[in-house]
Structure 1
Amino acid sequence: MSPYKSFAVVGAGQIGLPIVGALAALNVSVIVLSRPGSSAKPVPAGVEIIQVDYDDAAAVSAVFKRHRVDVVLSTVNSAGVGSQKSLADAGKRAGAQLFVPSEYAAPTDGQPEGSDNPVGGTGAKNKIAKYLRTVNLPSVRIFTGPFIESIPWLVGYLDHGKVRIVGKGEVPVSFTSIADIAGFVAYVLTNLPPSKLENRILRLEGERIRMNDLGVLFKTSVEHVDRIPGEAGEAKTGLLKLLDSGAGSTGWDEAHKRERSGGEAAGSANSLWPGHRWKGIKEVLDL
């Protein structure tokens, strides 16, 4: 059994709340940190929401100490990735044993600073991983690929009933459901020993598919375009280009532009949750 008994989830958004729910269902101690002024979020009974400035390491550390936090899980969005340095400092001061940085997307290990990655920013996520090593705070990075639930939004299916993509759409992409991600995180943190988690990268994969093959699942046509117009069009275009480069696979090796193999292959960490049946696109989206 894992020695971790108390958890702090920073952020209560699309992936944060499901992780809180999955942990709370295991009857472990869970608190949620949110920024001052944030709107109230529904959390399970017994879970306390504490509003605190993430950039105030002393204040955050005091919260961690008061609740004897063993594991800090950051689920901040891309705009808040930089604040994780203060969160790491707070965790270190408070004696946290493990830090789980906000990844939950395409792999960002090996991403050079200044590179263009709409998931990892300009190397920001990799900078945090390096910083955690410099302060000697063990961490575990979890790469999931895009959320299955995001596919209709990403390809514009809800807008025009088609699958619209940028690029050739021939390389495989790792998609994973939010429920599976949350359940996996809760399971490994409460069942695996530190030796299986500390300073590791865990690569998940719910379903591996080419973007061109989404048309068959959605029973519609696939259109190839140069860019996605409209609201969030720039973000969608950037993400679709990233997926088309091969980096949508959780086993992608950015430095060598190729797929990893063996214990670093896409989905290689799925086996850490024995007996679990990973959900596919058709099941999650009820296609």
Structure 2
Amino acid sequence: MSAYKSFAVIGAGTIGLPIVEALVARGASVVLFSRPGSTKKTIPSGVPVIEVDFTDVPALSAALREHKVDVVLSTVGTPWLDTQKSLVEAAKLAGVKLFAPSEYGFPTEGQTEGALGVKMQIIDQLRQLGIPTVQFYTGLFTEGIPMLTGYSEHGKIKIIGDGEKFASFTAISDVAGFVAYVLTTLPPAQLENREFRMEGERIRMKDLGKLFNTTVEHLEPVPKEKADIFTMLLEVLNSGMGSTGWDVVNNREGSGADSAGSANALWPGHQWKGIKEVLKL
């Protein structure tokens, strides 16, 4: 049984709000931190909402102490990844016992560039301050496939490269449920300084066409300076890094506890949702 009693979720976006809901469903004490002026959401009753500047260390640490927060779960989006540096400082001052930085994507360890490089900076900061971490690698959210591949707009699956590399996709509800389950079930020794590699479905990008009953269009790589966010993600998938088991340092798939989907077994009896189920194909 987990020794953690109080959780602070930072941000109520795509994955933040589902995690709040999943924690509440498991009877956890949860407080939500939201940026002033952010879009209002329907929050579960009984969950305090604190509007605070994510760069205001004194205000953040005071709120964490007031609610006796054991675990901080950051779910900030890419534009705000750097604000986590202030969150980490505040967590240290408040005596937080476990910090889950905003991962929910590709493996971070060994990354040096772009958003993944910023995520690695946060991990390094947490380690330097001696705050135990827990990282959740999910691959891409299954719900985002139609937009990512252009299917929503063109009715075709557009990928970069030959599409031979496998990628991990996980439903948002499975991600939130898994996070809430392990944080309220496992003891600290099984959570601290751990990486959890989940996976709803594993598929080669070129095989998405069969699922969607459409054609696959192979695009040529473009220079980084001309790439939008979707193009950059397609480049990552073409490289093999889209798998939650990818070993960035050694440029290969990991094995054993470091393999894609290795964390799924920690949620016994759960049926992970595949792409067809989530997208109703």
Short-chain TM bin: over 0.9
SS in 2 for 1:279: coil
Distance of 2:19 and 2:73 partners within structure 1: 9
One-letter amino acid matched to 2:219: V
Question: Which residue of 2 is the match for residue 250 of structure 1?
Answer: 244
Distance of 2:210 and 2:75 partners within structure 1: 33
SS in 1 for 2:228: helix
Q: Deviations over 1:24-70 (max 9, x none)?
A: 11121111111112121111111111100111111001101111111
Equivalent of residue 151 in structure 2, options 147, 151, 157: 157
Matched, 1:69 2:69: yes
Question: Which residue of 1 is the match for residue 48 of structure 2?
Answer: 48
Question: Which residue of 2 is the match for residue 125 of structure 1?
Answer: 119
Question: Which residue of 2 is the match for residue 217 of structure 1?
Answer: 211
Question: Which residue of 1 is the match for residue 261 of structure 2?
Answer: 267
Distance of 2:28 and 2:251 partners within structure 1: 41
Alpha-carbon deviation of 1:201? 0.8
Per the alignment, do residues 233 and 124 of structure 1 end up closer, same or farther by CA in structure 2, a change over 3 Å counting? closer
Off by >4 Å, runs of 4+ in structure 1: none
Equivalent of residue 179 in structure 1, options 173, 192, 195: 173
Distance of 1:60 and 1:163 partners within structure 2: 43
Output aligned runs, 1:25-44, within 5 Å: 25-44=25-44
Question: Which residue of 2 is the match for residue 3 of structure 1?
Answer: 3
One-letter amino acid matched to 2:33: L
One-letter amino acid matched to 1:285: L
Alpha-carbon deviation of 1:233? 6.6
One-letter amino acid matched to 1:258: R
Question: Which residue of 1 is the match for residue 92 of structure 2?
Answer: 92
- In the alignment, structure 2 segments of 5+ residues that lack a partner are none
Distance of 2:233 and 2:136 partners within structure 1: 19
Q: Deviations over 1:141-182 (max 9, x none)?
A: 111000000000001111111111111111100111100000
Alpha-carbon deviation of 1:276? 0.8
Q: Deviations over 1:87-109 (max 9, x none)?
A: 11111111111000000001111
Matched, 1:18 2:12: no
SS in 1 for 2:199: coil
Matched, 1:195 2:189: yes
Matched, 1:238 2:232: yes
Q: Deviations over 1:212-271 (max 9, x none)?
A: 10000000010111269xxx9711111101111000001101111100001110111111
Distance of 1:44 and 1:34 partners within structure 2: 14
Distance of 2:28 and 2:119 partners within structure 1: 28
Q: TM-score, normalised by structure 1?
A: 0.94
| Contact preservation (8 Å) 2:196, 2:263 | yes
Distance of 1:18 and 1:195 partners within structure 2: 25
- In the alignment, structure 1 segments of 5+ residues that lack a partner are none
Question: Which residue of 2 is the match for residue 103 of structure 1?
Answer: 103
Distance of 1:10 and 1:83 partners within structure 2: 11
Distance of 1:66 and 1:141 partners within structure 2: 25
